[in-house]
Structure 1
């Protein structure tokens, strides 16, 4: 009949008396309790948390295996569970933890309890934990039981602390950077005004000296004056280039959607005279539309195209190709030429400020253009490099993030 019976048999003078009692419901209830306890035990073993079940009336507490795993403590028989738990809470946290717990137990409107505090391990160190519990109440609303779990969040707390320290360091660096920028602005003012004024005086008086005493000066004197004036002009150009280098990264224009094709066309128009002199042929491929700052992008292409036009080979028409290749995360641009090329050992050196590979008599410039380009691209989150074969040409590649 698919039922459980408790059977009792009693012998008597006339035979055997047998009593049957249906205990199906009792056995089902006991089986359900055993299964529930078994599931609870399995769950406590499977999780890294310290699962607990607190009988508030008798003050007995079941701890899962996680309690020993996380904190190294073992429950002793007949020991007050509340005593073991509360004595290991950090003294500075104890009053606040107990107050929050009993506030939930004594308030019928809420059953959920959650608290962060420090809990003592068996090795004497404290773990940061987050403890969550759910109160179970009787028909009158009195809390009779509470189940919950303690989670070790020490690593999270340590990470938060490291982030806090990192943020403090970043704030300090930001302040230092602000001071540095203020000093840089002061330098820029001096470079653009005070340093250029003496150079203008030198150039002006040397020119007057040459004009007034032209007849009295021999060829050597004229040559010396020419060298002095030329040196002053080059010094002024270096100051202007330094000023430009110091301003890289300070965007005075707004972020906008820009057709790179138009930027390159503008540079080509500005370089029209030298393009005609060099008989240069410029090929422009399909270039993308970017959301970026106009001035830095214009500087990049102006410097790279100017260099390609400057370092050409005598007796051979110049050819410059500007293309772009798309990756998943970046745009990769290239500016290729058929110029004099660069020796492999100098391919990294050319991006360092004031590093020149040629005498000024051969090719003009101050050796700062590519340093400006690299600084701009670095600030925009990209990178730049060059591949070159001496006597055949160079290809400058740079990336910008999408």
Structure 2
């Protein structure tokens, strides 16, 4: 079963238990409500009616006691005036009205009490309740009977007093007292009887309340126990596989791939275990493949290390060779230059035009060869020497180059525009100075000799995401698009030395420096429309 299904089952089970507890509680509460309603509707109302009957009967007794006192005055007093007798008889009639009113109220109370008992008899569900209610009904019938007998006796006495035939006797008083006592006894007995089954009803309500509390507690405890068992079961089905999965992950982290998790369960843990087993198998295969490649790589590194040592040896020998050759060539070159200068100074006038031209050619060739040797040494120095990268101000570097080329700039009448907000960058300050020196120097040298516009050189900067981009722009002779790449080749010249001096090694040196800085250099130019040299330097240099 899926984990989601297990959790759903647990949730539904807990909801069912909660609903069951709620239903049980409501049922028990309805029983308590029924018992309390029974007490209110039957016992309390019946008690009220009986208490009211007792109260009214007590008032009747008090009134009738006054009737007896007035009757005694009428019968036994001699010489009573007729007006006094008439007043007493009127007083008795007034008492009789109150007496009759109380009698009617008692009749209504007895009738209401009988109606209550009869309704409860109809609803009685058990024999004991039925018998108790029937006994209460018998009490009410006896009370009603005694009350009517009492009313009959008192009515006779009232009529006798009004007709003047009443004669006071102790038997009449005793008879009335017996009726009152009998009625009081029956009412008191009924009241005690009603109080008895009222007490039973209250006890029944208390019993139902105790049963309700017990049922609710049992339901709560059962819910807790069942919920705990279900949670424990689900937790066990999740925690143990997860623990195994964690241990397996630790083993894989330690490089131990020869393990297998139990993937028999059909839940999400089983899915994860199966995926983990597949991963472990693939990792084991990849590890074996990696070990094989490491062995091959180790062998290759051994070969590469040896080749690197050989290459470093060759480069060192090449540097030594270049230096030696340059030095060996420079020595005779000095002699050639010296002899050429001697011939030009001492014998120029004795030579014809052709001889003078040859001497001049010797001097220029020697000078060109000297510059070639210097550029060759500079190339080897650039490739061999690695200066540390540092934070440098490009504006200061450009200003240093301008100061160095100040004579050439003024002689050519160049207008120089340098962007003032070029940021500081990480670079090889010395080599970047050579870059700007070459580019600005070429821009000064290759201005158009026939154009009327004043020579203008612009140095600027453009912010890029991963690179610093710089440019040196001029309005000189320009470069045809087909020559944009070849001008960066060593000793490549597009003009002869008579037109523009130089060896053609400068841009090759610039390209090498830019590539050492993780950047590139390119040209935007058309022949006769000036040239813009753009280059980038990586922002990731440290």
Q: How would you bin the TM-score normalised by the shorter chain? A: 0.5 to 0.7
TM-score (norm 2): 0.48
**Distance (whole Å) between structure 2 residues aligned to residue 158 and residue 363 of structure 1:** 60
Counterpart in 1 of 2:462? 325
**Within the alignment, does 1:354 sit opposite 2:491 as a pair?**
yes
**Distance (whole Å) between structure 1 residues aligned to residue 459 and residue 410 of structure 2:** 18
Out of 292, 298, 301, the position equivalent to 2:427 is: 292
**After superposition, what is the alpha-carbon deviation per residue over 1:168-227, rounded to whole angstroms, capped at 9, x for unaligned?**
354234313311321232124214421101111112223334444445422211111111
Structure 1 residue ranges (4+ consecutive) displaced by more than 6 angstroms after TM superposition: 27-30, 47-50
- Residue 68 of structure 1 and its aligned partner are, at CA, apart by 8.7
- Residue 297 of structure 1 and its aligned partner are, at CA, apart by 0.8
Counterpart in 2 of 1:397? 534
**Within the alignment, does 1:343 sit opposite 2:480 as a pair?**
yes
SS at match of 1:358: coil
- Residue 157 of structure 1 and its aligned partner are, at CA, apart by 2.9
**Distance (whole Å) between structure 2 residues aligned to residue 172 and residue 381 of structure 1:** 27
Whether the 8 Å CA contact 1:323–1:333 is kept in 2: the answer is yes
Counterpart in 2 of 1:260? 394
- Residue 358 of structure 1 and its aligned partner are, at CA, apart by 1.3
**Within the alignment, does 1:52 sit opposite 2:260 as a pair?**
yes
Counterpart in 1 of 2:444? 309
Paired residues for 1:106-255 under 5 Å: 129=284, 153-158=287-292, 160-161=294-295, 163-165=297-299, 167-251=301-385, 253-255=387-389
The higher relative CO (CA closer than 8 Å, separation ≥ 6) is in 2
Structure having the higher Rg: 2
Unaligned runs of 5+ in 2: 1-12, 15-225, 263-272
Q: Which is strand-richer, 1 or 2?
A: 1
Distance 1:224 1:29, change over 3 A: closer
SS at match of 2:383: coil
**After superposition, what is the alpha-carbon deviation per residue over 1:251-304, rounded to whole angstroms, capped at 9, x for unaligned?**
365543321111111111111112112211111112221232222011000000
- Residue 373 of structure 1 and its aligned partner are, at CA, apart by 0.3
TM-score (norm 1): 0.64
Distance 1:234 1:52, change over 3 A: same
Whether the 8 Å CA contact 1:184–1:246 is kept in 2: the answer is no
- Residue 160 of structure 1 and its aligned partner are, at CA, apart by 3.8
Counterpart in 1 of 2:404? 270
Distance 1:306 1:164, change over 3 A: same
Whether the 8 Å CA contact 1:304–1:335 is kept in 2: the answer is yes
**After superposition, what is the alpha-carbon deviation per residue over 1:326-350, rounded to whole angstroms, capped at 9, x for unaligned?**
2222100011111111111111111
Q: Which is helix-richer, 1 or 2?
A: 2
